[in-house]
Structure 1
Amino acid sequence: MAYPEGNRTWQIIHNAKKGGYGVGGFCVYNTEGVLAVIKAAERCRSPALIQFFPWSMHFQGPAFIKFAAEAAHAASVPIAVHLDHCLKPSDADMALECAFDSIMVDGSMFEEEENIRYVKSVVDRAREKNMTVEAELGRMEGGEDGLPTVDLESVWTDPGRAAEFVKQTGVHFLAPSFGNVHGPYPPGGAEKHWQLDRLEKIHEALGEATPLVLHGTHPLSDEMVKVGMAKGMVKVNQNRNVRNGYHKYLEENCSMVELTTLQVQGVEEYAKGVERLMVEVLGSSGRA
């Protein structure tokens, strides 16, 4: 199949866009996270994306990414493996040699013209690897575990530039900045700070060809995720929200049970958080 239609991430996200549901991009840090997303997706008959930060490439290494990709691709439902927030060109070089289905190129710390050059250079090389590319236009504040905190002011995405940015870079998915932030929101939360009119205009400018990606979902109510989806978001990134039960179980049992039990039950608790989102929020359950 031709590029990018033959790419696993492209298929998962475009099927979700056509079907009117969201697909979760679940950030994981260990084997338990990989297994939990696969278990949840298979039980819910839902597509999913397993996401890593560049931290995993360096700490766990390319062999771990290969393991995750092989496990994901062996699942009975469509699951892709994605690299989130590739900030450094050297990390992009490394990612292109790993087993990712797709990568997010984050040039938001650059001025727009340099961002365009950076993203386009990665897209051109990713094509040769049958990888698709997500990019951020504008800049979101904050940081996440495994990512450096961006100590720069937010730059909101200009709806009038969105389509041209996609055309100039060849990027396949766009992560807009419209008041969303990584990590805790300022007082008033997303309800106060999201510029929904801006998001709606970005969606209108891009049309059906370029799906939107929601970043900045912690903490975020189920209702606000649904609002974002109604305004055009298709890929919905998740990190801490789906891990709360897993963390609680580890805190309460890490010195009480054998390591094998801790891992098996930890995966189960982790999977429950992923399943809840698939069923109650994204609407992806039963779509695979």
Structure 2
Amino acid sequence: MTFYINYTNGANLTAISDGTINTTSTSLTLIGKNFPTYGQLLNQNLVSMLENWANSTSPNYPMVGQLWYDSGNSVIKYYRGGAASNYWQDVANILYSSSTPSSPQQNDFWWDSTNQQLKYYDNRNFITIGPQTTNDGLNRVSGTNSFIVQIGGNNVFTVDAYGRVNAAYNPVVQGYGFATGTAFTGTGLTSPQTVIPAVVSINTGSYFSGSSGIFTCPVAGIYQVTGTAISLGYNSTPAPYQKIEWWKNGTTTYISCQAQNPASITSEDFDTPMIATGYVQCSAGDTLQLVMAASANGQIDNNNSTLSIRLVA
């Protein structure tokens, strides 16, 4: 009785007569009825399939979808059809490592877990597919329902769980009130004191120290700084000078405001608002701080003082 062998899709592959074998239709030996030593041939077929025809040369008469382990190049391939050698295509080999793989093969992919980058081996070097710079793309913020979008490692904007886009996502600090008490009483303009807010309402990126009152610039750029305070009259005692000023790296930036009250102060009507605001060019690692100073007995109001810092360019 002739055996009729079909492809998986039902199309006819070949017919095998009684007492014969077929070795030219597939990479297997197809066995007809009553062929001697059929058990040996069957076992050999099973071994070939188990090892995916492991050899340095491709199997004869391959079928579309067939796997072959190319032992010469240590890579598994699949057959996509045709007679040309390039119809044996590599199955992507994806390596996961924090360091460069020691024995990569051509067409290997490597996920560089240290830099969070996907790379491709072209038989000479690993080529970065992306992101081109580390920490690009969408980064999930732990414990929140939002994404931070970064370019070149710099924060650009956020997208929250409701689809709202908050741009630009840059270092932002806002604080108010002085931690020193209800008012700052001066001892001389030559002894400025750093403003430490009683409340830091916004501290995006945590670049501002609430204990020292110092902001450390995370990236180079132009920072907009604003400080406000009220110069107080003080119990009819002359208090001619109060000042707030922005410092960069512990030195004046000349962004300051100085109030001069009358020599004789009799009421709060002489309270004077002060605003020190401007732009400072900074490098990464530079520090910014708002300082205040007052002449003897001069006071600066605590409750109505504010400071803010923002990267704008």
TM range (shorter): under 0.3
Where is the strand percentage greater, Structure 1 or Structure 2?
Answer: 2
**Rg larger in structure:** 2
TM-score normalised by length of structure 2? 0.20
Which one scores higher on RCO, CA 8 angstroms, separation ≥ 6?
1
TM-score normalised by length of structure 1? 0.21
